[in-house]
C-alpha cells in the first residue's frame, strides 16, 4: 500500500471517529515503508506538485541518547502540546522555549531534536540563546531556541513562532501567527 494512501486512512479514521485504533493504523503504515539500511544511499522521492525530496539514512542505526529529556518534555507540556511543537519543528516553523532553568531549556531542545530521529535538525538551533544573539528572531529562517525567562521582556516583535513556557505546565503553548493558516492565528492550545 502506498504510504500516502495510508495517511489518508489514518486521517479519515481520526476525523470520522471510526473506532479504529490509531496505533494499529500507524504501525501498519510504518511497517509498509521502505527504510534503507544505516549508512545507505540517498533516496529521492516526490510528495506531489513536482517537488523533489531526498532522504538519507543516518550513518548509525542507534537511537539518540536522550536520558529523561523526552519524557520530561511530555510531562511538562502534555501530549497535545508536545506534538504541536514537534509538528512545527518538522514543518520548519520557529519554536521558542522559555524557562527559568537552563537545564530545562537544554533538555527540551535536545528532546525535540531527538524525536526527529532519523532526521537531523539543520536550521538554527540554540538551546540557550544569549541576549547578544536575539537578532536570530528577526530572520526568516526556522529555529529551535531556548531563552531564559529573565530575558523574556527583551524578546520583541516575534511572529510566526510557537512559544512554549516550560515553567507553565501543560497549558503553556501559544501560537503566534504560525503555520501560515488562519485556523492557528493567535490560538492557545490546551490539553
- Residue-wise pLDDT tens digits, 10-49: 778 778 887 777 777 777 766 766 667 777 787 777 766 7
Q: How far apart are CA 95 and CA 164, in angstroms?
A: 8
Taking 90 as the threshold, does the pLDDT of residue 105 lie above it? yes
Within this chain, do residues 76 and 170 fall inside the same structural domain, yes or no?
yes
Which pLDDT does position 39 carry in this prediction?
74
* Separation in Å, CA 41 to CA 2, 33, 38, 115, 178: 21, 16, 9, 23, 34
Please report which confidence band the pLDDT of residue 128 belongs to, taking 50, 70 and 90 as the band edges. Answer: very high
Which pLDDT does position 24 carry in this prediction?
77
More confident residue, 2 or 36: 36
- 113: domain range? 69-189
- Inside any domain, residue 60: no
- Inside any domain, residue 27: yes
Please report which confidence band the pLDDT of residue 144 belongs to, taking 50, 70 and 90 as the band edges. Answer: very high
Model-level pTM?
Answer: 0.61
- Inside any domain, residue 8: yes
- Inside any domain, residue 63: no
Q: Which residue has the cell 516553523?
A: 93
- Residue-wise pLDDT tens digits, 145-161: 999 988 888 877 677 88
Give the DSSP per-residue string, 153-182. GG--S--SEEEEETTSGGG-EEEES-TT-G
- Inside any domain, residue 98: yes
Taking 60 as the threshold, does the pLDDT of residue 185 lie above it? no
Round the average pLDDT of the chain to a whole number and report it: 77
- Inside any domain, residue 156: yes
Within this chain, do residues 98 and 122 fall inside the same structural domain, yes or no?
yes
Amino acid at each position: 500500500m502506498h504510504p500516502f494512501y495510508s495517511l489518508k486512512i489514518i486521517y479519515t479514521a481520526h476525523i470520522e471517529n471510526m473506532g479504529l485504533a490509531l496505533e494499529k493504523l500507524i504501525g501498519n503504515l510504518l511497517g509498509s515503508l521502505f527504510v534503507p539500511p544505516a549508512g545507505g544511499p540517498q533516496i529521492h522521492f516526490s510528495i506531489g506538485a513536482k517537488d523533489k525530496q531526498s532522504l538519507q539514512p543516518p550513518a548509525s542505526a542507534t537511537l539518540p541518547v536522550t536520558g529523561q529529556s523526552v519524557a520530561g518534555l511530555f510531562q511538562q507540556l502534555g501530549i497535545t502540546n508536545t506534538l504541536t511543537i514537534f509538528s512545527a519543528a518538522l514543518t520548519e516553523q520557529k519554536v521558542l522555549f522559555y524557562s527559568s532553568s537552563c537545564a530545562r531549556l537544554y533538555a527540551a531542545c535536545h528532546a525535540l531534536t531527538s524525536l526527529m530521529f532519523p532526521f537531523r535538525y539543520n536550521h538554527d538551533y540554540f538551546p540557550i540563546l544569549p541576549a547578544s544573539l536575539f537578532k536570530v528572531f528577526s530572520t526568516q529562517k526556522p529555529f529551535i531556541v531556548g531563552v531564559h525567562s529573565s530575558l523574556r521582556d527583551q524578546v520583541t516583535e516575534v511572529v510566526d513562532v510557537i512559544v512554549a513556557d516550560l515553567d507553565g505546565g501543560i497549558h503553556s503553548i501559544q501560537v503566534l501567527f504560525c503555520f501560515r493558516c488562519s485556523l492557528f492565528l493567535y490560538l492557545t492550545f490546551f490539553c
